[in-house]
Amino acid sequence: MKKLIIISLGLLCLTLTGRAQDATNFSKTALDLMMLSPGGSARIQGIGGAGTALGGDITTASLNPAGLGFYNRGDASFTPSLNFINSDGRYLNSTSGTSLTNFNIANAGVVINKSKPNNEGFKGGSFGISINRVGNFQNDYTYEGFNPEYDFVDYAVNAENAFDGLVPDDFSLLAFNVGVIDEFAVPDEGQNEIFINGFPRSTDLLDKDGNDFIFFDRNTYRGDDLGYPTEDDPTYQYENIRTRGGIYQTALSYGGNYDDKIYFGVGLGLFWLRQEVERDYIEEPSRSDLSRLRMTDRYTLDGGGVNGTFGLIVRPVTPLLLGISYTTPSIFTLEQTRLLRLNTDYTDGEFYSEEFFYPSFRYDLRTPGRLRAGATFFVGKHGFITGDVESVNFSNANLQRPSEGDFRFDNSVIADYNSVLNYRLGAEFRMDIFRFRAGYAYYDDPTDDGIDNADDQFTFGAGIKTQMFYVDLGIITGIEQQQRVTPFPTADVADINSNITRASLTLGFTF
């Protein structure tokens, strides 16, 4: 019988890096943790997320803590949010759609004011505590189609026989353990060719380091024909991928005010995150004694991180504010757990199930720093126009200290990521107690992987502000996520496109 192989996440990443939402694709995980969104209050969301040169909003506690220096009263706010997610999966000339509505808390915070408005020079400042949702993992998508050429059983046979550059792995071992592939003696001496999965193979390729067995698809049609897919008898393939969780940041910040002309601030950011991914892949061959194969891949990622932010806003002339902030690299400590299971049902009533529990895998991630610069111009008491630009060099990220294996391959992928400039622009019009807002944000694509993940977002908002309380609504449209998914190595690729609309409502009061 076949011996159990050692399961290693560090080794798996060498063969599975083509899969999105893959437990072993650590360079993709690193990218997910770097693609942060400002989140924050509905006010900031309504003006495109531009807040580097704008004060008097709780979101500045994480964007540019110098903005806390504008407060002259205490403030408390709470921002629930709804994400409306629509996804399309395109696979083997078929398209399937899914939708998901997710409720979350985009922001909550309090500002404690210690200003001294009558002072000359230093006029005091404010402390801010803000909890901000900066990353979203919520999604649900499917793809399906009929494959006339290649299925999971074919892959397992080829991997066990080390064909086409493949090597035995956990997928092929599971296939063997549940009986969809089997081992047979090597051909007679002098036999130069055999047929595996319907294709001729030279026996010269069957050197398996002294293993005297070759592996066949044991799945058959009526009679003795092997069960590989054909045009007349394709294999139905389907996968549903569900992701849950997000990234939250607690910002502990202080912003000071010097003579209403210079505002300065410093903040500490504490992150916590959880990501849950559940992949259910199903194959149903045609006219086969294998009626259904189901592979479940579940993993979770938990962790925390820390960074710091420093900011400055100056007022060279009364209607103009210029701001700059720098956020240091974030250091994350992460832990991943995983379960991989394969079930098979046969037409004769037989059922097999086998699963692997992976040991907890721990590692660190350092993400790049972020430099922001912005300007705000006030049009009297009628409102303002604001914008900022953000520079991030994604290639500066680094995976470190794995509990086993190494990250040489994944860090080489990260080293090819790009440096990007992100732009945000917004405006607010004021009429008595009413506020009307609109904005635009552009987030550049940091990769050259053939998928255009540059993102154009359009934002809208409105609000009411009185001396004692305020209510704001912010809407972001055009949040797009594109990815390519394969259920197992060398499988056909599914293209997934997700479109997200976010609506947030801020309730706040001053004291």
- The tens place of each residue's pLDDT in the chain, 511 residues long, gives 333 333 333 333 333 333 346 778 899 999 989 988 767 999 999 999 999 999 999 999 999 999 999 999 999 999 999 999 999 999 999 999 999 999 999 999 999 999 888 888 999 999 999 999 999 999 999 999 999 999 999 899 889 888 888 889 999 999 999 988 887 656 666 666 766 655 566 666 554 444 556 677 766 554 555 567 888 889 999 999 999 999 999 999 999 999 999 999 999 999 999 999 999 999 998 878 889 999 999 999 999 999 999 999 999 999 999 999 999 999 999 999 999 999 999 888 889 999 999 999 999 999 999 999 999 999 999 999 999 999 999 999 999 999 999 999 999 999 999 999 999 999 999 999 999 999 999 999 999 888 888 899 999 999 999 999 999 999 999 999 888 999 999 999 999 999 999 999 999 999 9
In the chain the first and final C-alpha atoms are separated, in Å, by 74
* CA-to-CA dists, residue 331 to 233, 334, 398, angstroms: 52, 10, 10
Cβ density class 300-335: b for 16+ within 10 Å, e for less: bbbbebebbbbbbbbbeeeeebebbbbbebbebebe
How far apart (Å, rounded) are the C-alpha atoms in residues 455 and 452? 9
Q: Which residues contact 232 (CB under 8 A, 6 or more apart)?
A: 286
Q: Residue type at 380? A: G
CA gap 311, 285 in Å, rounded: 60
Q: What tokens does 262 get?
A: 């210079």
Whole-number Å distance between alpha carbons of 73 and 90 = 53
H or E segment and range at residue 381: none
Report the distance separating Cα 386 and Cα 303, nearest Å. Answer: 35
Query: Measured between alpha carbons, how far is residue 330 from residues 232, 251, 266, 309 in Å?
Result: 54, 13, 15, 10
Query: Which residues, including other chains, have CB under 8 Å from residue 207's CB and lie 6 or more apart?
Result: none
The separation between CA 239 and the C-alpha centre of its own chain, rounded to angstroms, equals 18
**What is the pTM for the complete model shown?**
0.87
Q: Report CA-CA distances (Å) from 325 to 132, 310, 317, 375.
A: 18, 6, 20, 12
pLDDT, position 203: 63
DSSP state of 160: H
pLDDT score, position 130: 96
Quote the CA–CA distance of 109 and 65 in Å, as a whole number: 13
What gap in Å lies between CA 77 and CA 458, rounded to an integer? 24
Question: What domains does the chain contain, in order, with CATH numbers?
Answer: 9-148+233-320+328-373+398-424+471-510 (2.40.160), 152-217 (no CATH)
